[in-house]
């Protein structure tokens, strides 16, 4: 361990957090009349630059640097950047469609809108899943990804290399921070961490390209995608950027994106085949917009910053500023992820092998394992052992010839695993996990460890930016979850209006939620992709809530009881398409690919809820529109400058899609 690095890192993190707490000192959280407003919404006094940087820092954490970089290192490549570039357009629309309605109603929480428009049960139907999602999905995943980064970076240092220890350490530190400072402390630290993350990501990318220029062409050619025609000679004569293009897009862009294992097709394309299991081009048409609008427009964790805006104009300028920063993110997160495989595929394999061995050691009698093709290619002897284990558990022979390809072996192992699971439907845990050839979630930590760690005068800054962002994101999530629990549940049921009491209750929820999230976080290490885990879970919630809000905004005659019906219909429909109807449709050959992507399931469920809403509006319309409350304490004049800047963001996003099509 380099002590200079550690000292500078600790000073930076503690110093920025102290700044946030110091800046929040003016908030009177003990006031009976405005304590909750000061604690949960920073006194509704955030300026545009605090809103903008806070949105970015709250969104971009190791969840993105670990999860998104990992997906980019795998087969998705640049396609995963759609989550960022489409978010830029989404943010602009949210600023001018959603925010005016929320600020006009003077909301503390997003579920509060549903009570005004659809009734108290609708508010609970959103609030309870929102808390569950914030605590057990987003907060736990950010704790995990932060701990994953630190444990991979210090993989030989006692305690710091222990994933579970780091999960608890990060969670407790974040809870102490939000417990004291509230949203205003989060916003001020986000100002520092948001800028530091962009700069830190750019530094990592710079060193990655510098290393790419020095790496032997004979070594790099081994990581080339299969449909690139680049040769060793091409690589030897190329600049760093040209090497990146040759390895992942071919000599003339011939390495198109194809459906298959990592390395089978080009990685520099935003549009992927319709058969792709994660991001088919069909999802870009509708499916991806659903989680985007939900996340940026209806997710308390994000929207809480805009609810604390000084005015509508300040909120809109902050949102557009954040949208412009989103255009930069793929260049400092996604591209380094792709480079991680080109430069350090061996390290990615070593990390996977360590996880695989631990999984195999825990394997009990009768349990089976699944594998990917890369695992069979990189660990053929272990793959043969897993084939025998699965064959025994499924009570079938291995039935595989000596000349079988890695793809055929992987398919046979997985088929045997499926048969073993089906043969024991009443037993849980028959499938013990999936063995992989490469640990893609380790892509960014490995980049930083190999490129930045030898330079303590720089590494402390990268570490501080990433760890600070984790703490800041966790603080924001805990603050938002406690806001919903306090205002939508506790205050709603008890009728408590003393805001000083509400602050105390909110702080109690912070402690409870961080304990629950820290318990769940280490369990996420069993997942193949943390990013996919987060997005998949949202399918049960986001399409229905988005559809309900659309009717709440634009259909004044839709009956109040539709708020609950829409949310429940979506959850049931998504479950059916995920576990029963979707697989049946695919098996019958009625779907265009061998798997129904979760974004396509989202789109289908969204339209089911929209159809339900139209139907109930036609059959049982309200006699008169619901009157929403009006907050006369905030200026609701829109920003003309934000409209112009937002238009430029949308045009730039379209241009980027054209370049990386």
pLDDT, tens digit, 9 for 90 and up, residues 343-358:
999 999 998 998 889 8
Helix (H) or strand (E) holding 242: helix 240-249
The answer to whether the CB of 420 falls within 8 A of the CB of 406 is no
Query: According to the model, what pLDDT value does residue 316 have?
Result: 94
- Least-confidence region, from 7-16, 202-211, 392-401: 392-401
CA atoms within 13 A on the CB side of 350: 7
Tokens of 337: 């992820």
Alpha carbon distances (Å) from 570 to 151, 284, 472, 565, 612: 38, 20, 32, 9, 10
Burial class (CB in 10 A: 0-12, 13-18, 19+), 221: middle
In whole angstroms, give the CA distance from residue 98 to residue 116: 15
Q: What is the pLDDT of residues 572-589, one digit of tens each?
A: 999 999 888 888 888 888
In whole angstroms, give the CA distance from residue 581 to residue 39: 46
* 3 state DSSP class of 431: strand
- Phi, psi of 114, deg, nearest 5: -65, -35
Query: According to the model, what pLDDT value does residue 453 have?
Result: 79
Query: According to the model, what pLDDT value does residue 634 have?
Result: 81
- Least-confidence region, from 141-150, 228-237, 481-490, 601-610: 141-150
Q: What percent of the chain is modeled with pLDDT above 90?
A: 29
Query: According to the model, what pLDDT value does residue 34 have?
Result: 54
Rounded to an integer, the average pLDDT of 398-418 is 83
Tokens of 472: 């800041």
pLDDT band of residue 546 (cuts 50, 70, 90) is: very high
Rounded to an integer, the average pLDDT of 469-496 is 85
What angle (nearest 5°) sits at the alpha carbon of residue 518, between those of residues 464 and 150? 30
Long-range contacts (CB closer than 8 Å, 24 or more residues apart) made by 342-345? 342/212, 342/220, 342/223, 342/244, 342/247, 342/248, 343/208, 343/211, 343/212, 343/215, 343/447, 343/450, 344/446, 344/447, 344/450, 345/222, 345/223, 345/438
| pLDDT: which is higher, 566 or 42 | 566
The answer to whether the CB of 355 falls within 8 A of the CB of 87 is no
Q: What is the pLDDT of residues 247-289, one digit of tens each?
A: 999 999 899 988 888 888 999 998 888 888 778 888 788 778 8
pLDDT band of residue 1 (cuts 50, 70, 90) is: low
The answer to whether the CB of 99 falls within 8 A of the CB of 318 is no
Q: 615-639 b/e with 16+ CB inside 10 Å = b?
A: ebbeeeeeeeeeeeeeeeeeeeeeb
The answer to whether the CB of 193 falls within 8 A of the CB of 186 is no
- Least-confidence region, from 80-89, 171-180, 539-548: 171-180
In whole angstroms, give the CA distance from residue 474 to residue 141: 10
Q: 133-153 b/e with 16+ CB inside 10 Å = b?
A: bbbbbbbbbbbbbbbbbbbbb
Widest pairwise Cα distance in the chain: 77
Q: What is the pLDDT of residues 224-255, one digit of tens each?
A: 999 999 999 999 999 999 999 999 999 998 99
Q: Is the predicted pLDDT of residue 26 greater than 80, yes or no?
A: no
The answer to whether the CB of 508 falls within 8 A of the CB of 98 is no
Burial class (CB in 10 A: 0-12, 13-18, 19+), 286: middle
Query: According to the model, what pLDDT value does residue 62 have?
Result: 64
- Least-confidence region, from 120-129, 312-321, 466-475, 482-491: 466-475
Query: According to the model, what pLDDT value does residue 362 have?
Result: 87
Query: According to the model, what pLDDT value does residue 610 have?
Result: 96
Rounded to an integer, the average pLDDT of 10-24 is 78
Rounded to an integer, the average pLDDT of 593-600 is 78
Cα-Cα-Cα-Cα torsion 175, 177, 441, 577, nearest 10 degrees, comes to 50
Helix axes 82-97, 640-659, angle to 10 degrees: 160
The answer to whether the CB of 432 falls within 8 A of the CB of 359 is yes
Supply the DSSP string of 307-325, one letter for each residue. Answer: HTBSSHHHHHHHHHHHHHH
> What pTM was computed for the model?
0.82
In whole angstroms, give the CA distance from residue 623 to residue 445: 58
Q: Is the predicted pLDDT of residue 160 greater than 80, yes or no?
A: no
Rounded to an integer, the average pLDDT of 306-319 is 89
In whole angstroms, give the CA distance from residue 260 to residue 267: 12
| pLDDT: which is higher, 532 or 326 | 326
Select, from the ranges 15-29, 299-313, 516-530, the one with the highest average predicted confidence (pLDDT).
299-313
Rounded to an integer, the average pLDDT of 489-502 is 84
- Phi, psi of 432, deg, nearest 5: -90, -5
In whole angstroms, give the CA distance from residue 300 to residue 478: 11
Q: What is the mean pLDDT of the chain?
A: 85
pLDDT band of residue 516 (cuts 50, 70, 90) is: very high
Supply the DSSP string of 27-52, one letter for each residue. Answer: --TT-TTTHHHHHHHGGG-B-HHHHH
In whole angstroms, give the CA distance from residue 525 to residue 329: 25
Helices within 98-162 (DSSP H only):
99-105, 110-118, 120-133, 140-153
Tokens of 363: 């394997």
């Amino acid at each position: 361990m380099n002590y200079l690095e550690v000292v500078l890192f600790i000073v930076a993190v503690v110093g920025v957090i102290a700044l946030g707490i110091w800046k929040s000192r003016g908030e009177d959280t003990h006031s009976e009349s405005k304590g909750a407003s000061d604690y949960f919404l920073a006194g509704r006094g955030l300026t545009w630059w605090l809103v903008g940087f806070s949105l970015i820092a709250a969104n971009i954490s190791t969840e993105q640097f670990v999860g998104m970089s990992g997906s980019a290192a795998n087969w998705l490549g640049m396609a995963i950047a759609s989550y960022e570039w489409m978010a830029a357009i989404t943010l602009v629309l949210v600023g001018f469609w959603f925010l005016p309605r929320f600020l006009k109603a003077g909301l503390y929480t997003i579920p509060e809108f549903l009570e005004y428009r659809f009734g108290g049960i609708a508010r609970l139907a959103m609030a309870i899943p929102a808390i569950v999602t914030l605590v057990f999905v987003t907060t736990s995943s950010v704790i995990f990804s932060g701990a994953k980064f630190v444990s991979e970076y210090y993989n030989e240092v006692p305690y710091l290399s222990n994933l579970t220890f780091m999960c608890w350490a990060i969670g407790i530190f974040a809870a102490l921070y939000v417990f004291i400072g509230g949203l205003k402390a989060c916003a001020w630290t986000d100002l520092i961490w948001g800028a530091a993350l962009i700069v830190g990501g750019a530094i990592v990318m710079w060193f990655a390209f510098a290393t790419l220029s020095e790496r032997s062409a004979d070594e790099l050619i081994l990581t080339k995608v299969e449909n690139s025609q680049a040769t060793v000679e091409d690589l030897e004569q190329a600049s760093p950027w040209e090497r990146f293009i040759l390895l992942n897009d071919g000599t003339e862009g011939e390495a198109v994106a194809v459906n298959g294992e990592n390395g089978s097709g080009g990685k520099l394309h935003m549009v992927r085949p319709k058969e792709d299991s994660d991001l088919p081009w069909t999802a870009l048409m509708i499916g991806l917009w659903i989680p985007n609008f939900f996340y940026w427009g209806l997710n308390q964790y994000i929207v809480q910053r805009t609810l604390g805006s000084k005015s509508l104009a300040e909120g809109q300028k902050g949102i557009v500023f954040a949208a412009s920063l989103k255009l930069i993110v793929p260049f400092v997160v996604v591209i380094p992820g792709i480079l991680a495989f080109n430069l350090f595929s061996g390290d990615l394999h070593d990390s996977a092998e360590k996880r695989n061995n631990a999984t195999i050691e825990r394997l009990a009698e009768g349990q089976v394992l699944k594998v990917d093709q890369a695992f069979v290619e990189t660990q053929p002897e272990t793959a043969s052992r897993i084939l025998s284990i699965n064959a025994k558990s499924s009570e079938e022979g291995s039935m595989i010839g000596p000349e079988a390809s890695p793809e055929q072996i992987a398919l046979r192992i997985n088929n045997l695993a499926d048969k073993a699971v089906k043969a024991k439907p009443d037993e849980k845990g028959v499938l013990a996990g999936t063995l992989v050839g490469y640990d893609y979630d380790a892509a960014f930590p490995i980049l930083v460890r190999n490129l930045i760690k030898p330079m303590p005068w720089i590494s402390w800054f990268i570490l501080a930016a990433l760890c600070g962002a984790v703490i800041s994101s966790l603080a924001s999530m805990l603050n938002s979850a406690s806001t919903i629990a306090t205002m939508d549940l506790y205050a709603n049921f008890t009728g408590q209006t003393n805001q000083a009491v509400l602050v105390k209750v909110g702080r109690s929820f912070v402690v409870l939620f961080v304990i629950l999230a820290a318990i769940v976080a280490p369990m996420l290490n069993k997942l193949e992709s943390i990013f996919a885990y987060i997005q998949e879970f949202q399918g049960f919630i986001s399409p229905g809530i988005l559809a309900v809000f659309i009717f709440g905004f634009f259909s004044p005659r839709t009956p109040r009881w539709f708020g609950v019906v829409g949310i429940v219909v979506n959850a049931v429909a998504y479950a059916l398409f995920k576990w029963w109807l979707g697989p049946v449709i695919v098996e019958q050959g009625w779907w265009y690919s061998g798997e129904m992507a979760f974004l396509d399931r989202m789109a289908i469920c969204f339209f089911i809820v929209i159809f339900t809403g139209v139907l109930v509006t036609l059959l049982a319309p309200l006699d008169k529109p619901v009157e929403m409350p009006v907050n006369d304490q905030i200026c609701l004049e829109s920003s003309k400058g934000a409209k112009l800047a937002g238009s430029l963001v949308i045009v730039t996003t379209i241009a980027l899609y054209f370049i990386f099509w």
